[in-house]
Amino acid sequence: MCVSFSQILAQTNKRPNIIFIMSDDHAYQAISAYDQRLISTPNIDRIAKKGILFTNASVTNSICAPSRATILTGKHSHLNGKVDNHFKFDTTNITFPQILQANGYQTAMFGKLHFGNSPKGFDQFKILPDQGNYYNPDFITKKEGNIKVNGYVTDIITDMTLDWLKQERTPEKPFMLMYLHKAPHRSWLMAERHLDEMTQKTSPEPKTLFDDYSGRTSPAKEAEMNILTSMSWAGDNKIYPATMDSLKIPEIGFDKQRFKMEMGRLNPSQKANFDRVYDRINAEFIKAYPSMTEQDKMRWKFQRYMQDYLGTLRSVDENVGRLLDYLEANNLMENTIIVYTSDQGFYLGEHGWFDKRFIYDESFKTPLMVSWPSQIKAGQKSNALVQNLDFAQTFLDAAGIPAPKDMQGQSLIPLMTGKSWKRDAVYYHYYEYPAEHMVNRHYAIVTKKYKLIHYYFSTDAWELIDREKDPLELKNVYNDPAYASIRKTLHKQLDALRLKYKDNSTISNGYIDRFLNDAVEGKVFGVPKQKAAEMKAKRK
């Protein structure tokens, strides 16, 4: 006889706790459970060792708030409405925390949400407004209004999480806790304690740091996320505005202004620490810059990027360790599902890029590991095509609660507990354009072997990537006769997926029109009104 998971739960009457740990922009290349070249993350790795590591986990839309909306609703962006960072989240959506709360779970959220409004379904929350700040951050709280907390954001979010577990948790109830870091999001300010060590680190370069984008259609070349040409000297690499002036280096984006804003938040003792380290970096740079070639500049910027990005991750790893230590010491490990993931992946110099948005692996895929010692065997690895779309149904399934019929994911519980689980392809749709980084709109089907991608809006171009033969994703083989029959099959599969998930061009066009209208009124960050007006006129 087949006994369902919820029946087992009903028999044991021991619903699991759920801890959802998510960082912002954490590339899997920067987790040692996946890749040991860049950084060691012994604490995050503890989760993988105790449970299962996913090597093919992906997001449905590689950008912050849309990923969070998909996680909470179990629906693709076009149905939950949060297609980009620009529009506010529609709080009439039903989210899994609301369902868990209504079914007796105690719920709490700490850290970054980025919805432009407060979450429903939480007994307690303390969230960063918008992107939040690394130093002395403000929080919007459920019970204390708006507060400012002194210190470093990753430490503070962890303190809040641990305080809640120690002081507010009701042991009679199962709990669902969302612990959501801002790090390692731009502009990569690390904790003071890591400054000396991490700003002297050298990282290996990725093979495609000097990608010239020649093998693909135009969007890769047109995107504004190349480290050499789009990463700012002051705002990102922390070259002083005065150093830029003395060397006559032109600004990139809101370069100097962004640097001043970040530094303006530091208190005198924090600032003294940063000044000491930045003085050294600036002095070395002033000596080196005059003889640097364009290649040297790319290499220098990549190293500075890695130092700061990886620096922020040192404290994420330490703080995840603090949480795991607490759970272990308080006998809360066995029947707690612990997830570690990111809202999307990130380019660490692959294709010469930083940021995300594109469907090429480093941003489309995301780190994912899950432990639940009482149910999931330790030390597993899975290459199944799982997505952030699956979390809502996974957690509801684990709690023995039927999921609403219109959720679009698939519970991962059978997969993680050794039962049968199947998915041949996943669907992706990125919308935020024209916007910062200028990554064209695109949708795609991804199987283990191929990606078929359609770039639309400012271009109309198809790409076919052979994931096995071309793991670096440098060559579009869409027009290669050898792939004619594969192309045909993938087109059919893509049409079927769009139908299955109810995505169609009418919905997309609706979002484009609303977005462009806002851009024309100057309401879209990074898009000049004039440019928006030209694009709008061209569409008509």
Minimal distance, residue 40 CB to Ca ion, in Å:
23
CA atoms within 13 A on the CB side of 234: 23
Q: For ligand SGN, which residue of 308, 361, 436, 463 counts as binding (CB under 6 A)?
A: 436
**What residue has token string 């080196």?**
288
Minimal distance, residue 259 CB to ligand SGN, in Å:
11
Nearer to Ca ion among residue 71 and residue 464 (C-beta): 71
Q: Which of residues 38-67 bind Ca ion (CB under 5 A)?
A: 64
Residue 101 binding result from Ca ion, ligand SGN, none, given CB thresholds of 5 to 8 Å by partner type: none
Residue 517 CB neighbour total at 10 angstroms: 13
Nearer to Ca ion among residue 308 and residue 343 (C-beta): 343
Q: In the bound complex, which residue of the shown chain has the CB atom lying closest to Ca ion?
A: 64
Q: For ligand SGN, which residue of 15, 20, 25, 348 counts as binding (CB under 6 A)?
A: 25
Residue 186 interacts with ligand SGN (CB under 6 A): yes or no: yes
Record the tokens describing residue 345, joined without a space.
């992946």
Minimal distance, residue 190 CB to ligand SGN, in Å:
15
Nearer to Ca ion among residue 17 and residue 58 (C-beta): 58
SS3 letters for 428-448?
A: EEECCCCCCCCCCCEEEEEEC
Q: For ligand SGN, which residue of 45, 262, 355, 473 counts as binding (CB under 6 A)?
A: 355
Q: Residue count at the site for Ca ion (CB under 5 A)?
A: 4
Q: Taking contact as CB under 6 A, which single stretch among the options 179-187, 279-287, 316-324, 377-385 is the one that binds ligand SGN?
A: 179-187
Nearer to ligand SGN among residue 185 and residue 216 (C-beta): 185
**What residue has token string 């706790």?**
17
Record the tokens describing residue 431, joined without a space.
């919308």
- The amino acid occupying position 246 is S
Q: What is the DSSP string of 183-221?
A: TT-TT-PPPGGGHHHHTT---PPPTTTT---TTS-HHHH
Record the tokens describing residue 166, joined without a space.
């120690």
User: Parallel, antiparallel, or unpaired: how do β-strands 106-112 and 380-382 relate?
Assistant: unpaired
Residue 15 binding result from Ca ion, ligand SGN, none, given CB thresholds of 5 to 8 Å by partner type: none
Residue 25 interacts with Ca ion (CB under 5 A): yes or no: yes
Nearer to Ca ion among residue 57 and residue 327 (C-beta): 57
What are φ and ψ of residue 131, in 5° steps? -80, -25
- The amino acid occupying position 467 is R
Q: Which DSSP symbol is given to 365? A: B
Q: Which of residues 257-296 bind ligand SGN (CB under 6 A)?
A: 258
The Cα 266–Cα 281 span in angstroms is 19
Minimal distance, residue 174 CB to ligand SGN, in Å:
30
Q: In the bound complex, which residue of the shown chain has the CB atom lying closest to ligand SGN?
A: 64
Residue 343 interacts with Ca ion (CB under 5 A): yes or no: yes
Minimal distance, residue 30 CB to ligand SGN, in Å:
15
Residue 85 interacts with ligand SGN (CB under 6 A): yes or no: yes
Residue 437 binding result from ligand SGN, Ca ion, none, given CB thresholds of 5 to 8 Å by partner type: ligand SGN
Q: Which of residues 109-128 bind ligand SGN (CB under 6 A)?
A: 114
- The amino acid occupying position 260 is K
**What residue has token string 């600004």?**
251
Minimal distance, residue 185 CB to Ca ion, in Å:
6
Residue 53 interacts with ligand SGN (CB under 6 A): yes or no: no
Q: Taking contact as CB under 6 A, which single stretch among the options 75-83, 116-124, 155-163, 181-189 is the one that binds ligand SGN?
A: 181-189
Minimal distance, residue 436 CB to ligand SGN, in Å:
5
Q: Taking contact as CB under 5 A, which single stretch among the options 213-221, 337-345, 419-427, 480-488 is the one that binds Ca ion?
A: 337-345
Minimal distance, residue 125 CB to Ca ion, in Å:
19
Nearer to ligand SGN among residue 206 and residue 235 (C-beta): 235
Long-range CB contacts (within 8 A, 24+) of 488-494: 490/445, 490/447, 490/450, 490/452, 490/464, 491/452, 493/424, 493/425, 493/445, 493/447, 493/452, 494/427, 494/444, 494/445, 494/452, 494/454
Minimal distance, residue 312 CB to ligand SGN, in Å:
13
Q: Which DSSP symbol is given to 387? A: B
Residue 225 interacts with Ca ion (CB under 5 A): yes or no: no
Residue 200 CB neighbour total at 10 angstroms: 11
Q: What is the DSSP string of 212-252?
A: --TTS-HHHHH-S-BHHHHS-TTTTT---HHHHHHHTPPP-
Nearer to ligand SGN among residue 62 and residue 107 (C-beta): 62
Please name which of 414, 487, 477 lies closest in space to residue 445, comparing C-alpha atoms.
487
Handedness of CA 408, 411, 412, 418 (dihedral sign): negative
Residue 436 binding result from ligand SGN, Ca ion, none, given CB thresholds of 5 to 8 Å by partner type: ligand SGN
Residue 258 binding result from Ca ion, ligand SGN, none, given CB thresholds of 5 to 8 Å by partner type: ligand SGN
Minimal distance, residue 481 CB to ligand SGN, in Å:
38
Nearer to ligand SGN among residue 252 and residue 497 (C-beta): 252
Residue 248 CB neighbour total at 10 angstroms: 6
Nearer to Ca ion among residue 64 and residue 385 (C-beta): 64
Record the tokens describing residue 467, joined without a space.
């994931």
Element (H or E) spanning 145, and its range?
Answer: strand 145-148
Residues making contact with Ca ion (CB under 5 A): 24-25, 64, 343
Residues making contact with ligand SGN (CB under 6 A): 24-25, 63-64, 85, 114, 131, 185-187, 258, 355, 436-437
